[in-house]
Structure 1
Amino acid sequence: MDRTVAIVADRVGWEERRLIDSAADFGLRIEWVNDESLGLGDAESASLSGYDAVLIRSRSYTRGGLIATVAESARIPTLNTASAIHACENKLTLRAQLRAADVPVPDYRLALSRRDFEKALTELPPPVVLKPVFGGMGKRVTLLRDADTAHSVYDYVEDLGHGFEQASLVEPYLAGGSSLRCFVVGRELVAIAEFRSAGTDWRSNAALGNRNRAVDLDPAVQKIVDGVLDVLGEGIFGIDLFETPDGHVVNEVNHAPAFRAVASATGVDIAAAISRYLQEEAG
């Protein structure tokens, strides 16, 4: 008998269509459930009842973890877990947990105020990167090349952001313009692609449409990925690494990763890998 899986998301994009199309080969039926119309809170989670598993693919950095929390309370197998999503959506929480587990991360300072920010600049002199604690897809990540520019930019953080949005990380600028996206399904590292900044944009985020290519597995990279999974547990993740003179460090982990660019660069059928994993979890 086919198992039914809900993809909880705010829209059906390329990745969701690929998952829906590939599901039948693994005895699954995948249905889209709009994350804006669930009305969760009752003990039975009626809008998610009847599903054998729930796959959270909300782009929102708040909805995903909240929905996963309620789904898990209704004893529905949920990917990713609420604890993993909450860690991924909060860059500070993730950095702190990984550092405590001896997984390499960039040096950073938390800036919650102008005083915090000024102190960070004395300890980590420009050029530095200022990024929101909550957010993704390279949005509001700013390269600050000198102190004068840094203070002017922080004016906007203070004046235009609410307290939730003002929470920021300051970290050294790791020059090079490239990053590795390690795509994990379960505990398996199924694909690795390098993303390199294109044109005048210094960021190498996959969501920005930059150049990419497949790369071979490096045992040192595998060790870092294994360390991340030891902290978060198995699941479906896009783990982004930066290269430094001392080796790679974990920049961030995406709990609802896009995979079109990685699939294109590597030729790996990532949708099939995810569907196979969903089959195991829903069984």
Structure 2
Amino acid sequence: MGNAVAIVADRLGWEERLLIQAAPDFGLRADWVNDESLGLGDPDAPSVKDYDLLLVRSRSYTRGGLIATLAEAAGVRTLNTARAIHACENKAALRALLHTAGVPVPDFRLVLSRTDFTRALAELELPLVLKPVFGGMGKRVTLLRDADTAQSVYDYVEDLGHAFEQAGLVEPYLGGSSVRCLVVGRELVGAAEFESGGTDWRTNAALGNKHRALAHDPDILKIVDGVVAELGPGIYGVDLFRTPDGLLVNEVNHAPAFRAVASATGADIASAIGRWLQELLA
């Protein structure tokens, strides 16, 4: 097989630059391809036909799955697969998929209306978290501490223009730290715990909060193995919550940023990805 890899993304960020720099060490040629320039739909897909693999790193929660689906239809291999990306783009669908497979996830309620929201408040104990079904990087994730302000918060959701943006989840607030696992293929290459810092309660790695490396303990490895068994080998950011009853999968990112995990653990994640791509294309 060949060695040409298209890194498909909306912009050339820190991770993409590192992947392009590391590629020659593994006999690969990696190019950034703007995800707005593909023009997919043509069965011959001229924009991607010269590539042996598309590494889909679109940060959009609509583009990645669409691109992977049409690229695969044109006979081009994608990472992650279209099935995996579509699952990761939709938090509700992902949790249903993992729960059915026996992978533990938090209790939650799907909220598509104020009626749903009011029922979720009645069924789940405060404090609660309201988050969009489609989205990432901690955006529009809201902590609901008080019942008397929760309905006012939901006013903002109702004012969003599209049903796509209004779809949300309500779930219990599970504490001030989370675990990010960076997976390449089937291997856990780095794990770090993130804690909220300053006045921001959110622990998302993209927000630059405090972090520390974690050992690859059996409980974490078991969860990661369960996720990979369901989604297939790929490049994932698996986010976990610690609870008294064990670890729960909060979400799985299909195009994970890895700067914070690399900083916390010292793991050479770009080389791990390059090595795995080399094996796949050998």
- The residue that corresponds to 2:166 in the other structure is 166
- The residue that corresponds to 1:55 in the other structure is 55
TM-fit CA distance, 1:75: 1.5
TM-fit CA distance, 1:61: 0.7
TM-fit CA distance, 1:278: 1.1
TM-fit CA distance, 1:15: 0.4
- The residue that corresponds to 2:197 in the other structure is 198
2:16 aligned with 1:27: no
- The residue that corresponds to 2:13 in the other structure is 13
Letter in 1 for 2:43: A
Is the 8 Å Cα contact of residues 2 and 281 (structure 2) preserved in structure 1? no
- The residue that corresponds to 1:241 in the other structure is 240
Q: TM-score, normalised by structure 1?
A: 0.98
- The residue that corresponds to 1:152 in the other structure is 152
- The residue that corresponds to 2:224 in the other structure is 225
Q: Secondary structure at the match of 2:189?
A: strand
Letter in 1 for 2:18: R
- The residue that corresponds to 1:88 in the other structure is 88
Is the 8 Å Cα contact of residues 77 and 282 (structure 1) preserved in structure 2? no
TM-fit CA distance, 1:102: 1.1
TM-fit CA distance, 1:161: 3.8
Letter in 2 for 1:27: G
Per-residue CA deviation, residues 109-146 of structure 1 (Å, 9 max, x unaligned), is 00111111111111003210000000000000000001
Is the 8 Å Cα contact of residues 77 and 281 (structure 1) preserved in structure 2? no
- The residue that corresponds to 1:118 in the other structure is 118
CA distance in 2, matches of 1:109, 1:25: 47
- The residue that corresponds to 2:261 in the other structure is 262
TM-fit CA distance, 1:279: 1.2
CA distance in 2, matches of 1:2, 1:123: 55
Q: TM-score, normalised by structure 2?
A: 0.98
CA distance in 1, matches of 2:2, 2:77: 16
Flag as ranges the 4+ runs of structure 1 deviating above 3 A.
none
Letter in 1 for 2:168: S
Q: Secondary structure at the match of 1:125?
A: coil
TM-fit CA distance, 1:213: 1.1
TM-fit CA distance, 1:2: 6.5
Is the 8 Å Cα contact of residues 2 and 27 (structure 1) preserved in structure 2? no
Letter in 2 for 1:60: S
Structure 2: tracts of 5 or more residues without a match: none
CA distance in 1, matches of 2:119, 2:171: 12
- The residue that corresponds to 1:207 in the other structure is 206
CA distance in 2, matches of 1:194, 1:127: 22
CA RMSD between the two structures = 1.0
Structure 1: tracts of 5 or more residues without a match: none
CA distance in 2, matches of 1:147, 1:221: 34
CA distance in 1, matches of 2:4, 2:221: 33
TM-fit CA distance, 1:262: 0.6
Q: Secondary structure at the match of 2:47?
A: helix
Is the 8 Å Cα contact of residues 53 and 281 (structure 1) preserved in structure 2? no
TM-fit CA distance, 1:33: 0.5
Is the 8 Å Cα contact of residues 258 and 269 (structure 2) preserved in structure 1? yes
2:274 aligned with 1:280: no
Letter in 1 for 2:174: L
CA distance in 1, matches of 2:222, 2:90: 23
Is the 8 Å Cα contact of residues 107 and 172 (structure 2) preserved in structure 1? yes
Per-residue CA deviation, residues 237-271 of structure 1 (Å, 9 max, x unaligned), is 00000100101100000000001111111011000
Per-residue CA deviation, residues 50-84 of structure 1 (Å, 9 max, x unaligned), is 11111000010100000000111111111000000
Per-residue CA deviation, residues 29-50 of structure 1 (Å, 9 max, x unaligned), is 1001000111111001110011
Q: How many equivalent pairs are there?
A: 282
- The residue that corresponds to 1:189 in the other structure is 188
